[in-house]
Amino acid sequence: MEEEMKTLVENNILVVLPHPDDEAFGVSGTLAMHVQNGAKVTYACLTLGEMGRNMGIPPFANRVTLPEIRKKELEASCRAIGIQDLRMLGFHDKTIEFELQELLDERIDALLQELRPSLVITFYPGYSVHPDHDACGAAVIRTVGRLSEKERPLVHCIAFAKNLEQSIGNPDIINNVRDFLKQKMSSIEAHRSQFQAAELLGSKKLKPREIQDRFGTERFWTYSFK
Ligand SMILES: [Zn+2]
């Protein structure tokens, strides 16, 4: 019985996403849940989202101050979720698809070797709408795919393209994160420069029931390397 429990509990998770705030809507509740269950979470964020067009409502950032502001927002989001280890990899925003693949793969491989995660979370390449998301997911899948089957962690992918179920089927992991909405909402609100939603939540325009319906579930596709 105890053995069985252990297989369900992830103890070492690596999250690889390209932008500060990518963690907030799709995965923060799941990560907060794993942290509460004792997992160590490392979040490798490829860029600082410094090319983002949003500067806050009303604006409080500008092109010069945005990177530092987004860095602080990312740190606050990680604190809200309980992420213990944040790595900012320093790639340029909006250009991940043009990075040398070798360079991206090398950095991701170094993390895999150092951390030996049991679970990796990233975007599903081809089904994640933004070119940076797709390029990030593709790099993770390439790099994890080079590991031997024995060394290979599970990979859970976030995806949100239109009609994606027709291509990749239904998500096989559906997490109810209603017990972790406090952490999730704090993560979303931390990204003040980016989300109008944060303003919306901050002024309590959403009823608790609406928050549960909108944010209470997170879905993942386990990547098949076969
Ligand atoms: Zn993004």
How much distance in Å is there from the Cα of 150 to the middle of ligand 1?
Answer: 31
Q: What is the pLDDT of residues 111-142, one digit of tens each?
A: 999 999 999 999 999 999 999 999 999 999 99
User: What mean pLDDT do residues 188-195 have?
Assistant: 90
Rg (alpha carbons) of the chain, rounded to whole number: 17
Cα 133 to middle of ligand 1, angstroms: 6
Residue 183: inside a domain, yes or no? yes
CA of 145 to the centre of ligand 1 (A): 23
Ligand 1 centroid, distance to 3 Cα (angstroms): 37
Secondary structure (3-state) at 61:
coil
Average pLDDT over the chain reads 91
- 2 — pLDDT class (breaks 50, 70, 90): very low
What's 204's domain CATH number? 3.40.50.10320
Per the structure, the complete domain to which residue 128 belongs is given by 2-220
Report, as an integer, the average pLDDT of 145-172.
95
- Residue 194 located in a structural domain: yes
Per-residue pLDDT at 206: 77
Q: What's the 35 CA to ligand 1 centre distance in angstroms?
A: 23
Ligand 1 centroid from CA 151, angstroms: 29
pTM for this entry: 0.93
Residue 225 belongs to a domain: no
**Ligand 1 centroid – CA 34 distance (Å):** 22
* Residue 79, domain member (yes or no): yes
Does residue 176 lie within any of the structural domains? yes
Q: Is residue 90 part of a domain?
A: yes
pLDDT-based confidence at residue 210 (cuts at 50, 70, 90): confident
Q: Tell me, in angstroms, the distance from the centre of ligand 1 to residue 4's CA.
A: 35
Per the domain annotation, does 226 fall within a domain?
no
CA of 18 to the centre of ligand 1 (A): 6
CA-wise closest residue to 189 among 178, 200, 180: 200
Question: What is the three-class DSSP state of 68?
Answer: helix
Residue 1 alpha carbon to ligand 1 centre in Å: 40
Q: How many CB atoms lie within 10 A of CB 27?
A: 27
* 226 C-alpha to ligand 1 centroid (Å): 28
CB 40 within 8 A of CB 12: yes
Amino acid 211: pLDDT: 85
Query: Is 84 inside any structural domain?
Result: yes
Ligand 1 centroid, distance to 49 Cα (angstroms) = 8
pLDDT value of residue 198 = 55
CA–centroid distance, residue 52 to ligand 1 (Å):
10
Structural domain count, the chain: 1
